[in-house]
Amino acid sequence: RLAEVKASGVLGKAFDKFRGANHPKTILTDEKVLQIRSLSAEGVGNRILAKQFGVHHSNISAIVLRKSWKHVK
């Protein structure tokens, strides 16, 4: 549903304004996301990364699988 609303242009720039590190309640930065992906590729587990970066292990999984923070290459 959100994809449909975004595609219609209703949210437009207001949605993108708070993406990733621009969101006021974010814990991570683009640089930290890149670190997470790099460390995960080296074999560091999601739960260890979660403790290190102060987020839940499901967030780490979503970052590594590029389900979240997709805009960070």
Q: pLDDT tens digit string along 3-55?
A: 665 565 555 555 556 666 666 667 899 999 999 999 999 999 999 999 999 99
Amino acid, single-letter form, for residue 44: V
Q: CA-to-CA distance for 66 and 55, rounded, in angstroms?
A: 16
Q: pLDDT tens digit string along 9-18?
A: 555 555 556 6
Sign of CA dihedral 3, 11, 61, 37: positive
Residue 10 CB-half CA count within 13 A:
7
pTM over 0.85: no
